[in-house]
Amino acid sequence: MKNNIILLHPYIQKQGNSNRLWLLAFVSFFTAAFLLTLVYTREQQHRPIPIATIATTAATSTPPLSKTLIKALVHYASNSNHTNRMSYTDIKQISDIIRQCPSPCNVLVFGLTPETLLWRALNHNGRTVFIDENRYYAAYVEEKYPEIEAYDVQYTTRISEMKDLLATVREQVRNECRPVQNLLFSDCKLGLNDLPNQLYELDWDLILVDGPRGYWPEAPGRMSAIFTAGVLARSKKGGNPKTHIFVHDFDQEVEKVSSEEFLCKENLVKSKDLLGHFVVERMDGNSFQFCRSHTAKHSSGAAAAAA
């Protein structure tokens, strides 16, 4: 009887171990690569996209509203049952400028009014910001309509003090109340310096003054809103050098006097019904007069004093 004996050479054993090691290394490599790819993909998905990128993408991907839809929105807004609503003529003037505004359009509105949702809808490719004196109402509107961007502001003025406030601005027009400045750092009594910092850096294409509310002597009046609108328009750093400024209730004394003081008669494009429409241009940082007529008056007064 023969015994069959099989002998394993040590080289064969080592070769099997080596193959297993290579196989293990190969599997480990691809496992690590898969995990790294998975982690990178998840990070990219959760990485925040810059606001500017979002705005640009939205502006280019969302088509503008059709003329038919705009007409329908304006029609229904002007025929609402709200007692404080704007007239069709006033709404149409503003909507026409928003429609012509290059996208993305920056619109600043003083006052939360029955037309708030309309302004936001008409400027759906741009940014529309609302400023109101009632922080509770601003919070309520934002909660009810998340698409609305609203901020509250504390007015420190009174209608009964209008003449004194205007006189103070004239005295400080070369310092704290100059027409070109960053109001965030201003101590001018009519300047609003407690808005969110980012709002002072934006180049506004259209500003509507339709607030604050009230016409009694202790009410804040719209002197600060009109002054601030004039400064923001003249202090633009880029974009369109011209800013359309609309003042609602233009037939009231506060609105008319303040507009003539800070928006200027030479910039008045149209005054119809209850709306004043001004176009204010960017000014040089060394300018110290709001209106050309003020400069002429100052020069003639100085000449008379010298004589």
**pTM to 2 decimal places:** 0.76
Burial of 217 by CB count in 10 Å (0-12 exposed, 13-18 middle, 19+ buried)?
exposed
Lowest mean pLDDT of 28-37, 154-163, 233-242, name the range.
28-37
Amino acid symbol at 58? A
pLDDT at 50: 46
pLDDT at 71: 73
* 212 upstream amide cis, omega within 30 of 0: yes
Cα torsion angle, 97, 145, 71, 209, sign: negative
pLDDT at 76: 67
Is the pLDDT assigned to residue 47 strictly greater than 70? no
Is the pLDDT assigned to residue 148 strictly greater than 60? yes
| Count of positions (residues) in the chain | 307
Q: In the chain, pLDDT over 90 holds for what percent of residues?
A: 64
Q: Are 221 and 212 within 8 A, CB to CB?
A: yes
Strand boundaries in 85-241, DSSP class E: 106-110, 127-132, 149-152, 206-209
Task: Name the band, by pLDDT with cuts 50, 70 and 90, for residue 307.
Answer: very low
Is the pLDDT assigned to residue 298 strictly greater than 80? no
Is the pLDDT assigned to residue 6 strictly greater than 70? no
* 104 upstream amide cis, omega within 30 of 0: yes
Is the pLDDT assigned to residue 228 strictly greater than 80? yes
Q: What is the mean pLDDT of residues 91-107?
A: 95
CA distance 106 to 129: 8
Is the pLDDT assigned to residue 21 strictly greater than 60? no
75-85 pLDDT, tens digit each? 767 777 777 88
174-220 pLDDT, tens digit each? 999 999 999 999 999 999 999 999 999 999 999 999 999 989 999 99
Task: Name the band, by pLDDT with cuts 50, 70 and 90, for residue 38.
Answer: low
Task: Name the band, by pLDDT with cuts 50, 70 and 90, for residue 68.
Answer: confident
Mean pLDDT: which of 28-37, 39-48, 65-74, 139-148 is highest? Answer: 139-148
